[in-house]
Amino acid sequence: MFRFARPAILAVFAVCTVAGVNAAEPELPFTSKAVHLGVSSCGGSSCHGALEPWKDSTVKQNEFITWQEKDAHSKAYKTLQSEKSKRIAQNLGLPNAYEAKICLDCHADNIAPELRAKGFQISDGVGCESCHGGAEGWLGKHVSGKSDHAANVQAGLFPTDEPVARAKLCLSCHFGDKDRFITHRIMGAGHPRMSFSLDTFTAVQPAHYVADADYKKRKGMVSHTKVWAVGEIVAVEHLLDALTDPKRNTDGIFPELVFYDCHACHHPMSNVRWEPRDSAGIGPGIPRLSDANLIMMGVILDHMDPKLAADYKARVKALHQASLKGHDAVLAAAGRLKELTGPLTARIAAMEFKQADMRALLGGVISHGLRGEYVDYAAAEQATMALAAIIDAMKDADMLTQPQYQSLIAVLDKCYDAVEKDEAFEPRKFLGALQSLEAAVPRA
C-alpha cells in the first residue's frame, strides 16, 4: 500500500460536490461513442495550459500543467514501459505491456481507433477525456463562455462532481467492471494489489480546481463522509456484480481468486496470522473473501437502518460460509446479498449525513475494529481511510476545534503506521491504535 496523504492534507483537497444521481445514468468515457480529441485540445495556454493560476478567474486555468507534472495518471502509459511491466507482460505471455489491450484499457485512454481525433495520442496515458468524457460534443459549449455546468453535462461532459458517477468511473479501473477487469492472473504475474476508497483517492488526486464560493454555486458541495459512504456502496455493487457474472467469477476449475483476501494465502508459513472473525464464521485454512468494503457497509447500515443491517450481515456471513459448500452456493449467496444492496446506492446518495450521523459513524468504525473485525489487513486499511474521511468531515462541520482535530490526527497517524506495509501488518498493533483513537475522540 502506498502511504496515503495525511488527514490534514485531506482536509484541503477532498472537497466534493453534488450527491445526486442523474436520472439517466451517464455512460462512462471508456464506453461512450463520443470522439476523443486528445489532451492537446485542453492544454492551450488560453485554456487549461497556463503555467500559473489566472488571477480573478473562476477556474485555475493551469489544470493541464497540474495533470502533466503532478498527477500519476499522466504517467500511466509510461509505466507500461518499465522493467516491472515488461516482466508482467512476459509472465502473461504478451509481447509487451504498452500495446496490450488488457493493460492499455486502464493505463491509457484506450478508446476505439475510430473515436480518436487527429490530435489524440495513446501515449498521453489517462488524460482529460479518460475522466471528463470525449470532448466532441461538449468542448464547443465549454469554451463558448455561454454555457454552464449542467449544459456541458447534457452535451456529454462526464459528471465527476457527482459521487456515484465518480465512484463508478474510478472503480472501472481500480477494481474493474464488465468491460475491463483485473484478474488474479494479472496479480499473479506481478501487478500490485488494488485497493480503493473514494474520499481518500479523491484527496490524493492533485487538485486542479478550487472549491471556492463560485465552485459551490456551480456544482454544490458534499461532505467527506458522504463521499466515503457512496464509494463503499458502489464498491460493494462492483464486487457483487463481478461475483455473479459468469464471465468473471471462474478461472478454469478455480473460482476467480482476485475476490479473495490476498494475505489469506500470500504470507510466510512461519507467520501464523489467522484470527477468527464472527462476521465470517469460517475457520482457518479457508480463504476469506476480500470483504473490506462489505464490512464498512455494515458500519453504515448499523446507523442507517439497524433491522436492515442485521439482515445484511446475515447474508454477508452466508456468503462467506458458502465457500465451504461450492461455487454454486457462492453464486446463490452473492445473488441474495445483491438483492438487498441493489437499492442502497440511491438511498445513500440521498442522505445528508448531519453531525449526529458523523459522530455515530466514527464510533461505529472504531467499535467494529475493537470487536475484531479488522484482523485482516485490507479491512484495517479500509477502516483507516474511513476514519480519515469522517474526522475531516467533522472538522469541516465545526464539530472539532483545531486542537481537538490535531489531537485526533496525531492518533490516527498510529493507524496509518499500522497499515503502512501490508506484509508487516500486525492486527494487535492496529487494535492498540484504535483503542487510543477511541480515547481521544471528544465527547459530545
Could you give the maximum distance between any two Cα atoms of the chain, in Å?
66
Rg from Cα positions in the chain: 22
Which pLDDT score is estimated for 96? Answer: 97
Across the chain, mean pLDDT equals 90
* Segment 164-191, tens digit of pLDDT: 999 999 999 999 999 999 999 999 999 9
Whether 375 and 275 have beta carbons less than 8 Å apart is answered as yes
User: Model pTM?
Assistant: 0.91
* Segment 246-273, tens digit of pLDDT: 999 999 988 999 999 998 888 777 777 7
Which pLDDT score is estimated for 10? Answer: 37
**Half-sphere exposure for 199 (CA within 13 Å, toward CB):** 30
The rounded percent of the chain whose pLDDT value lies above 90 is 74
pLDDT band of 16, cuts 50, 70, 90: very low
Long-range CB pairs of 181-185 (<8 Å, 24+ gap) are 181/242, 181/248, 182/106, 182/258, 183/248, 183/251, 183/256, 183/258, 184/251, 184/256, 184/257, 184/258, 185/92, 185/251
Whether 256 and 246 have beta carbons less than 8 Å apart is answered as no
Q: Rounded mean pLDDT of 353-364? A: 97
Sign of CA dihedral 22, 28, 32, 36: positive
Which pLDDT score is estimated for 270? Answer: 75
Asked if pLDDT for residue 338 goes beyond 90, the answer is yes
* Segment 386-438, tens digit of pLDDT: 999 999 999 999 999 999 999 999 999 999 999 999 989 999 999 999 999 99
Asked if pLDDT for residue 59 goes beyond 90, the answer is no
The rounded percent of the chain whose pLDDT value lies above 70 is 93
Q: Rounded mean pLDDT of 325-331? A: 93
Which pLDDT score is estimated for 3? Answer: 43
Which pLDDT score is estimated for 408? Answer: 97
Q: Rounded mean pLDDT of 222-229? A: 92
Which pLDDT score is estimated for 285? Answer: 82
Domain locations in the chain as residue ranges: 1-16+162-444, 27-158
Whether 387 and 437 have beta carbons less than 8 Å apart is answered as yes
Alpha-carbon span 175 to 162, nearest angstrom: 19
Q: Rounded mean pLDDT of 133-159? A: 91
Sign of CA dihedral 57, 62, 67, 69: negative
Backbone angles phi, psi at 207, to 5 degrees: -70, 120
* Segment 60-70, tens digit of pLDDT: 788 999 999 99
* Segment 18-50, tens digit of pLDDT: 334 444 689 999 999 999 999 999 988 878 888
Asked if pLDDT for residue 11 goes beyond 70, the answer is no
The end-to-end CA distance of the chain, in Å, is 34
Which pLDDT score is estimated for 1? Answer: 40
